[in-house]
Amino acid sequence: METNTVNLKTEALKNGAIWGAINIVIFLVVWYAMPSLMGNWSFAILQLIIGITLACFFILDMRKKAGGYWTFGEALWNIFVMFLLSMAIMFVFNILFGKFIDPTYPVKMKEMIMANSEKMFEKFGMAEDQVAEAMQKQGEKMNAQFNPTFSQAIVQFGISAIFYFIGALIFALIFKKKNPNPYHFNQDDQPTVG
């Protein structure tokens, strides 16, 4: 009978770090090769598809290393740790990138997003004064996003963590897999009822 000798928390941290590094590479390639894509909805959709694909790959990798089976609780905790670390790496990188590596990044991103937002508001048929008001609010949001104060960064991180936890709940529901053998052995080789 196969026993679980892999520490899933370590695997979750490792996979989260790899995922974060992949996100940084994708960001740098797109920023320096095709920066106009950064403010585009199609790029956001592509990022979502890549993110879901990587999530599935890393989750299946962890479940396989867990012996092919894990409970909802085991899946949730490890998936959330992986998601949170990946997000934290990219979150910190974005702030550091805009402050120290390429200070034009926040300015260019704000300009691209503001231009796309203005087009969208006009497509919705908003009046000029409504567009101006919406653009002012959008500008304030962009300043907080790309040049946050410490408290704004903490709030943004907390809100993102909540969304990633909800995502982890969904993925844990999808990828949990009960062991069909009710008498299996855990890491300490003690019989347990699953």
Asked whether residue 100 is domain-assigned, the answer is yes
Q: How many CB atoms lie within 10 A of CB 140?
A: 10
Longest CA–CA separation in the chain, Å: 71
Asked whether residue 59 is domain-assigned, the answer is yes
* Position 187 pLDDT exceeds 80: no
116 pLDDT tier (thresholds 50, 70, 90): confident
Give the chain's domain count: 1
* Position 162 pLDDT exceeds 70: yes
Q: Which domain holds residue 52?
A: 8-178
Burial of 187 (C-beta count, 10 Å sphere; 0-12/13-18/19+): exposed
- 127, 9, 28: which is closest to 76 by C-alpha? 9
Asked whether residue 143 is domain-assigned, the answer is yes
Asked whether residue 2 is domain-assigned, the answer is no
* Position 2 pLDDT exceeds 50: no
Q: Is 189 left (phi over 0), alpha (psi -120 to 50) or beta?
A: left
Asked whether residue 123 is domain-assigned, the answer is yes
Q: What is the pLDDT of residue 194?
A: 47
pLDDT tens digit sequence for 169-179: 999 999 999 98
Q: What is the pLDDT of residue 180?
A: 84
Asked whether residue 52 is domain-assigned, the answer is yes
Give the three-class secondary structure for 72. helix
Q: What is the pLDDT of residue 51?
A: 96
Sequence-distant (≥ 6) Cβ neighbours of residue 33 within 8 angstroms: none
* Position 142 pLDDT exceeds 90: no
Comparison of pLDDT for 185 and 102, the residue scoring more: 102
Asked whether residue 144 is domain-assigned, the answer is yes
pTM: 0.84
Tell me the mean pLDDT in the region 121-141: 88
Sequence-distant (≥ 6) Cβ neighbours of residue 162 within 8 angstroms: none
Helices (H), the chain: 8-33, 41-65, 72-96, 104-123, 128-146, 150-175
* Position 72 pLDDT exceeds 70: yes
Contact yes or no for 80/168 (Cβ under 8 A): yes
pLDDT tens digit sequence for 74-114: 999 999 999 999 999 999 999 999 999 999 999 999 898 88
Tell me the mean pLDDT in the region 52-68: 96
Rounded (5°) CA angle 72-73-76: 80
Sequence-distant (≥ 6) Cβ neighbours of residue 31 within 8 angstroms: 38, 102, 105
Burial of 168 (C-beta count, 10 Å sphere; 0-12/13-18/19+): buried
Asked whether residue 192 is domain-assigned, the answer is no
Contact yes or no for 137/88 (Cβ under 8 A): no
